[in-house]
Each structure stands twice: as structure tokens, then as C-alpha cells.
A = this chain, B = another copy of it.
Amino acid sequence: MAKKSEQIIKNLSTDSVIFGFDNSELKVLLIKLAVEPQKGEWALPGSNILTDENLDVAAKRVLKELTGLDNVYMEQLYTFGDVLRFPLFRVVTVAYFALVKIEDYQPEPGPKASDAKWFPIKKLPKLPFDHIEIINYALKRLKQRVRIRPIGFELLPMKFTLSQLQNLYETIMDVEMDKRNFRKKIIGMNLLIPLEKQKGVPHRAAKLYRFDKRKYDSLKEKGFNFEI
């Protein structure tokens, strides 16, 4: 019998939409389920919630078990609870969305999944339950968030070029932007620290930047605006 600290709440789970960006496409991390009745199907990583475990702790635990990553951007998304969303019995799931630096993590399946893989958001496999609905909702939220808060950096490597950043925004928001205007705006926010130049590229080397989280936190407190 499981010890007390491992008792699960039968009717409650968490599922996470984990986004990554590989410089050309937005991707979602899915796992291949290892247990019946959905064995073999790709699905969102998720888990039941333990009786003595906070919701966000559960979501972070799943991410950690699956990817070995912690300290990633994560926020609660929405709670999906349709009576029929899970076919066997009633399960309400608290969905989270996470942003990870894709190059920090090349998937290796955890113990509960037989495989884990990044899928382009535009080429998702068939998903069980309401997982596609959850992903669509997460994507909508990501688009909103990225427009009003500088969270895009969470998807890029620590050091990135302005072109990479623009490319990220264009991909997520599905628009084209003017290079000069984009740079004007981003630089004007004063959240980037210029670093050395790129090396080993077969053309003019771009300057690298990193996100100034410290300054962001202090500006945020003062009620600044970060709309793109």
C-alpha cells in the first residue's frame, strides 16, 4: 500500500502544455502513454495530484520527472472539467503551460512514458481526451502573454540575436514585423544587455543579447508596460 504521502486524488489531475521554439517552429512536448487504455498514444504530460501536494508542485513535479528541468516559466492555464472528458470516470484536470529553452532539453522519456518528443504545433498527432482543446487554449494564452509581457525570452537560449527574437515573435503571433521598428521598440524597453558577437556564422555576425531579468523585475514593480 502506498504511504500516506503518495495517496492520489482520484478525480483530480494536472496536464501541462510545454512549449519550445527551435528557431523556426513552435513546438509542444508530448509523451507516449505507456499504460492502457491509451497505451501508445501521444498525449500531454500529466499526472494525478497527490493528497498533500499543491497544484503547481504537481505540475512542476511532472515536468521535472519528464524533462529533468526545473526553474522554467510555468503558469496555471485553465481547469478543464467536462463530465465526459475522461471516459472511465470523472477527472477534472488543472492545466498548466510552460516555456522551456528547447536546446536545454532533448527529450528522454521518464519512467511512466515510453517516449517523449517535440511536435511542431502545426503537425500534432491525434490526441486523446480533450488534449487538443487544452493545447489550443494554451496557444491562445501564449499569444496574449507574449504581446503584453516579455516572456518570449523563456523560449530562447540565454544568448540570442535580435533576429532570433523577432523571428520568435513573428512565429508565435503569426504576423510579419518591420525589422527597424521591432528593434526600436525592443531596445527602447531597456531589458536587453548587449553581449559579444556571434561566432562561426557564414555571414556578418550579429550581436548577442541576454534578457535583464533583474531590471525587468524592478520595472514591473513600478507598473511599467511591456507591450509589443
Footprint of B on A, CB under 8 Å? Answer: 9, 11-12, 49, 51-55, 76, 78-79, 81-83, 90, 92, 94
Contact B79 A94 (CB under 8 A): yes
Tally of this chain's copies: 2
A79 touches B82 (CB 8 A): no
Closest CB of chain B to A9's CB: distance in Å? 5
User: A12, B92: Cβ atoms under 8 Å?
Assistant: yes
The 4 closest A-B pairs by CB, nearest first: A55-B81, A79-B79, A79-B94, A9-B11
Show 11 residue pairs from A and B whose CB-CB distance is below 8 angstroms, ordered by the A residue: A11-B11, A11-B12, A51-B90, A53-B83, A54-B81, A54-B82, A54-B83, A55-B79, A76-B78, A76-B79, A79-B94
Shortest A150–chain B CB gap in Å is 17
A9 in contact with B54 (CB, 8 Å)? no
Complex Cα–Cα for A33 and B125 (A)? 49
